Amino acid sequence: MKTKSKILAIVALALALATALPRAQQGDRVARIDRALQQYVDETRVAGAVALVLQDGRPVYEKAVGWADKEAGRKMAPDTIFRIASQTKAFTSTVILSLMEEGKVGLNDPAGRFIPGFAKTTVAVRSGSEVSIVPARRAITIRDLLTHTAGISYGTDASVAAMYEKQGLGPAAGYGWYTADKNEPICASMERLAALPFVAQPGEAWVYGYNTDVLGCIAERASGQPLDELVRKRVTEPLGLKDTQFYLPQSQRARLSAVYSSGADGRITRAPDGPKGQGHYVDGPRRSFAGGAGLLSTARDYARFLEMIRNSGTLDGARILSPRTVELMTTNQVGTLHSSTGLGFGLGFETTDRYGANGMDGVGAFGWGGAYGSVYRVDPKSKLVLVLMIQLLPNGSDIRDRFPTLVYQALGS
């Protein structure tokens, strides 16, 4: 009996060691993420960051490092609020597709059905040093806007910049996408945009620009409600996202991270006030709900939103979109217009169609980022949601490229 007990004890010890070894190894690999994030702070390449990773809906990594406001001595925290810039596009795309599911808009509807100026648009064509303005060959559709194939840029291209600037867009709007200082509804801005020339014919090129801001206006016109109300009623309230909004109440000012800028040497300095820095998200007109770049959020809120997408449009009993709609969003809809090396673009997200096209992203992964340096990925195969929030404009660091790799080497499967 004693011999049998010893054998059983040895087997149990062996099993325990076999289980503990992979856990210890994973712990070492997770620690690499900690060290890397802290190194960016120590070398003053970022002021601070919040990283959050969900696996199968559960938090498996969360870290706040550095400073939310270095000069004020305010440390970064898991609930720090960030300007998420183009990460707003995923919310607006979700809203427009929820309206599609209700039959209020269709993917092939012309934008001009909702914004009359878009019924007939023009394109700037450069020939040597000359620029000519020609009619668009066809109408821009909601599908074009969702996939960034409408030919609409941010108006900073040399061929159109002067014309955009005169209308308060392009170079007159920070880096082109910023509207938080405008004392007018977003539809007023988009109506002026409609009269300006775009830079490619509809459907012929992938051009990043005001597309999703146009969609925000279309959502307002199709529903009869302002975009902030649509986002709140259709997405944030059902999902319990309490910190995702277009403008911040004065009472939450201390939770908003400061913005920093990368210098020529890669080290940070505090960004100026105004459109190219701190913005007008607390003290501003609070009238322009920019569907392309206007929201504020936290890492926790954004990860929860992405988990809903990963979970085919539902989370904790709240159905936001149908599974088929989510499949449309996360499947390449543009062929090789966005990339010829294995990346595509769906109805709101960049897609990974070939392993190796985007670091360690698995085939079927999708994501994007924001102008302030934030980045996110959803990898259904590994059941992972990755979110990294920073406030760095312009961002001269490589943190948004390194972070997903660090996560995958530790937690990807």
pLDDT at 345: 98
**pTM of this structure:** 0.93
Cα separation, 200 vs 132, whole angstroms: 12
Cis peptide before 185 (omega within 30 of 0): no
Phi, psi of 16 (to 5 degrees): -65, -40
Q: Are 179 and 76 in contact (CB under 8 A)?
A: no
Q: Token digits for 337?
A: 């217009």
287: part of which helix (H) or strand (E)? none
Cα separation, 49 vs 37, whole angstroms: 8
Name every residue whose Cβ is closer than 8 Å to that of residue 105 and which is 6 or more positions away in sequence. 96, 99, 114, 142, 218, 219, 222
Return the CA Rg of the chain: 23
Helix/strand/coil (H/E/C) assignment for every residue in 140-197? CEHHHHHHCCCCCCCCCCCCCHHHHHHCCCHHHCCCCCCCCCCCCCHHHHHHHHHCCC
Cα separation, 64 vs 51, whole angstroms: 7
Amino acid identity, position 231? V
pLDDT at 25: 58
* Concatenated DSSP letters of 209-254: STHHHHHHHHHHHHHTS-HHHHHIIIIIHHHT-SS-BSS--GGGGG
Q: Going residue by residue through the chain (413 aa), what tens digit of pLDDT does each one get?
A: 556 666 555 545 444 444 444 555 578 999 999 999 999 999 999 999 999 999 999 999 999 999 999 999 999 999 999 999 999 999 999 999 999 999 999 999 999 999 999 999 999 999 888 999 999 999 999 999 999 999 999 999 999 999 999 999 999 999 999 999 999 999 999 999 999 999 999 999 999 999 999 999 999 999 999 999 999 999 999 999 999 999 999 999 999 999 999 999 999 999 999 999 999 999 999 999 999 999 999 999 999 999 999 999 999 999 999 999 999 999 999 999 999 999 999 999 999 999 999 999 999 999 999 999 999 999 999 999 999 999 999 999 999 999 999 999 999 87
Cα separation, 155 vs 46, whole angstroms: 29
Cα separation, 162 vs 88, whole angstroms: 27
Q: Please report how the helices 88-101 and 211-223 are oriented relative to each other, as an axis angle in degrees rounded to 10.
A: 40
Q: Token digits for 61?
A: 């990594």
Which domains, ranges and CATH numbers included, belong to the chain?
A: 33-87+228-411 (3.40.710.10), 91-96+104-223 (3.40.710.10)
Cα separation, 346 vs 236, whole angstroms: 22
Tell me the CA distances in angstroms from 217 to 85, 123, 191, 194, 364, one per residue in order. 17, 21, 9, 12, 30
Q: Are 53 and 61 in contact (CB under 8 A)?
A: yes
Q: Are 371 and 393 in contact (CB under 8 A)?
A: yes
Residue given tokens 């908003």 in the structure block: 256
